[in-house]
């Protein structure tokens, strides 16, 4: 065995070791992050009402927060690429989660709303940089597997958070102060893990970014037509997929409030289960796997309007399945379609399009639900299909699949 071969093998082993350390570390950071903000999101509307906010204020706070959470990723992604300060944006973004425990001391709905906007801005700051670091650190294990495992741990936190908050509220007689203050514990754990991985991997990530940048000299150093087609396809996919808020709103007409919370937990559990599996298949079969969630998106968008609890259950299960695939393989595909030099802004643009699609979806499917009594219907096997909803979702998914089919293979297989 030559020295060169030995060096390459050692470097390969080191990359894999770095990858597994990185995925575990960022996975736990995201897990505790989700415990914090998903736990908080489960009670924020009730808390704002307790503080005297009207339904309009709650709706505007949520809408503005989501807009900031997605649109500002364009700016943070661009700045991260320009300055190469991926760790700085990641650390600041997670550090600002302190806004959630501070909500225990809000005292007025205006302060609470401002803290909500701080939390959403923090997510916009960290997401493109974190995803770029994750794509670089985990280069030795496959992007699909890496993002799939990351999403699985993320969704475990998203499930645990609301459950913990519910338990605290139950035992404290709905005391919001203790519910929010308790989230300081996962926050401190998160910060400890984040700084540990920073000091352990900062030099390695700097080397990998420079090394990958040099190895990608032949790769286009701009956002390609493939990336633009893919991003547009994802926008249409999410615009034609009923949003979870509409599914849960539909469920409130059929079942008690506590059961709606259970449905949300089921959805998160399905997401966590599907994410690593879909990531594995993406690494194995490539871009062909991307078409699966596009096709499956039709199912929840049709079943949610059946007006039965069974229909809601089907919608919840398949929305969770699609979401698990979106959060893993959709993000993995970005690392294959872009050079590391443009990856921060690429994730920013992608996430903005992804969120924009759901903004359209929420408006369209919300209108369908509000006007369900006047929509033309068609009965099939005893089930009532609402024709405009069926036509809308199928049309958008077909167009999105057409755009997806134009993508060239972005991965080379051995």
Q: What are phi and psi of 137, to 5 degrees?
A: -60, -40
For residue 114, being part of any structural domain is answered with yes
Same-domain pairing of 234 and 211:
no
pLDDT at 410: 41
Among 111-125, 239-253, 354-368, 373-387, the minimum mean pLDDT is found in 373-387
Residue 53 shares a structural domain with residue 179: yes
pLDDT above 90: residue 69: no
Check whether 37 has a pLDDT greater than 90.
Answer: no
The string over 310-347, giving b where at least 16 C-beta atoms fall within 10 Å of a residue's C-beta and e elsewhere, is ebbebbbbbbbbbbbbbbbbbbbbbbbbbbbbbbbbbb
317: confidence class by pLDDT, cuts 50, 70, 90: very high
pLDDT at 294 over 70: yes
* All residues at 6 or more sequence positions from 114 whose CB lies less than 8 Å from its CB, including other chains: none
Same-domain check for residues 367 and 251 = yes
Residue 1 lies in a domain: no
Instruction: Indicate whether 270 and 193 sit together in one domain.
Output: no
Question: Who's near 192: CB < 8 A, 6+ residues apart?
Answer: none
At residue 383, the pLDDT reads: 67
Q: Is position 4 within any domain? A: no
Is the model's pLDDT at 241 over the cut of 60? yes
Residue 4 has pLDDT above 60, yes or no: no
How large is the average pLDDT for residues 95-120?
93
Based on the fold, state whether residues 200 and 296 are members of the same structural domain: no
Mean pLDDT over 194-223 rounds to 70
Last residue within a domain, chosen from 168, 194, 215: 215
Q: What is the pLDDT of residue 211?
A: 62
Written as six digits, the tokens of 362 are 């929420």
pLDDT in tens, 339-388: 777 777 888 888 888 878 887 887 788 778 778 777 777 676 666 777 78
Q: Are 37 and 97 in contact (CB under 8 A)?
A: yes
Q: Is residue 5, in this structure, part of any structural domain at all?
A: no
pLDDT score of 3 more than 60 = no
Query: Which whole number is the average pLDDT over 273-302?
Result: 87
pLDDT > 50? residue 20: yes
- Residues 44 and 126 both lie in one domain: yes
Q: Which of 124-138, 218-232, 264-278 has the lowest mean pLDDT?
A: 218-232
Owner of token pair 């949003």: 243
pLDDT band at 18 (very low <50, low <70, confident <90, very high): confident
Q: Which of the listed residues 215, 250, 279 is the one where a domain comes to its end?
A: 215
**Do residues 260 and 387 share a domain?**
yes
The model's pTM: 0.71
Residue 211 lies in a domain: yes
Q: Residue 413 — very low, low, confident or very high, per pLDDT cuts 50/70/90?
A: very low
Residue 53's domain is classified under what CATH number? 1.20.1250.20
Are 107 and 99 in contact by the 8 Å Cβ rule? The answer is no
Number of separate domains in the chain? 2
Tell me the pLDDT band of 97, cut-offs 50, 70 and 90.
very high
* pLDDT surpassing 70 at residue 246: yes
Q: What band does 213 get if pLDDT is binned at 50, 70 and 90?
A: low
- Give yes or no: residues 253 and 347 share one domain: yes
pLDDT value at residue 143: 65
Kindly state whether residues 342 and 356 are assigned to the same domain: yes
* Lowest-confidence pick of 99-108, 196-205, 230-239, 338-347: 338-347
Bridge partners of 380?
Answer: 383
Domain boundary among 199, 215, 231: 215
State how far the Cα of 282 lies from the Cα of 292, in Å rounded to an integer.
11
Q: Which domain holds residue 144?
A: 10-215
Q: Are residues 93 and 181 in the same domain?
A: yes
Top-confidence residue, 104 or 77: 104
Q: What integer is the mean pLDDT of 392-407?
A: 91
- Residue 17 placed within a domain: yes
pLDDT mean across residues, the chain:
81
Give 155-183 pLDDT, tens digit per residue.
Answer: 788 888 888 888 888 888 878 899 899 99
Could you tell me if residue 2 is inside a domain?
no
Is residue 16 located within the same domain as residue 164? yes
Tell me if 3 is assigned to some domain.
no
On whether both 228 and 137 belong to a single domain, the answer is no
């Amino acid at each position: 065995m030559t020295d060169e071969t030995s060096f390459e093998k050692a470097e390969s082993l080191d990359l894999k070791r770095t990858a597994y350390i990185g995925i575990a570390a960022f996975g736990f950071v995201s897990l505790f992050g989700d415990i914090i903000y998903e736990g908080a999101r489960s009670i924020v509307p009730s808390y704002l009402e307790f503080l005297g906010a009207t339904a309009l204020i709650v709706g505007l706070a949520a809408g503005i927060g989501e807009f900031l959470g997605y649109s500002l990723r364009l700016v943070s992604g661009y700045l991260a690429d320009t300055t190469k300060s991926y760790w700085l944006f990641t650390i600041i973004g997670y550090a600002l989660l302190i806004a959630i425990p501070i909500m225990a001391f809000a005292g007025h709905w205006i302060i609470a709303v401002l803290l909500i906007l701080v939390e959403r801005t923090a997510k916009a700051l960290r997401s493109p940089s974190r995803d770029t670091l994750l794509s670089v650190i985990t280069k030795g294990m496959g992007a699909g597997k890496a993002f799939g495992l990351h999403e699985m741990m993320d969704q475990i936190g998203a499930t645990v958070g609301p459950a913990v908050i519910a338990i605290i509220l139950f035992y404290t007689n709905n005391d919001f102060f203790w519910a929010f203050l308790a989230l300081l514990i996962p926050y401190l754990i998160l910060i400890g893990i984040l700084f540990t991985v920073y000091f352990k991997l900062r030099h390695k990530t700097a080397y990998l970014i420079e090394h990958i940048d040099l190895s990608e000299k032949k790769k286009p150093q701009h956002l390609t037509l493939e990336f633009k087609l893919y991003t547009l396809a994802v926008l249409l996919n999410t615009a034609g997929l009923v949003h979870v808020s509409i599914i849960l709103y539909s469920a409130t007409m059929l079942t008690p409030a506590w059961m709606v919370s259970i449905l949300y937990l089921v959805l998160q559990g399905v997401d966590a289960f599907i994410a690593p599996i879909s990531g594995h298949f993406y690494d194995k079969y490539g871009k062909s796997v991307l078409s699966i969630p596009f096709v499956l998106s039709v199912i929840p968008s049709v079943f949610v309007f059946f007006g039965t609890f069974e229909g809601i259950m089907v919608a919840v299960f398949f929305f969770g399945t699609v979401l698990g695939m979106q959060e893993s393989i959709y993000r993995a595909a970005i690392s294959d379609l872009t050079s590391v030099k443009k990856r921060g802004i690429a994730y920013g643009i992608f996430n903005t399009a992804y969120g924009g699609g759901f903004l359209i979806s929420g408006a369209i499917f919300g209108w369908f639900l509000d006007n369900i009594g006047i929509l033309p219907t068609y009965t099939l096997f005893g089930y009532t299909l609402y024709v405009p909803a069926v036509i809308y979702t199928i049309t958008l998914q077909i167009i999105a699949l057409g755009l997806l089919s134009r993508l060239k293979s972005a991965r080379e297989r051995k």
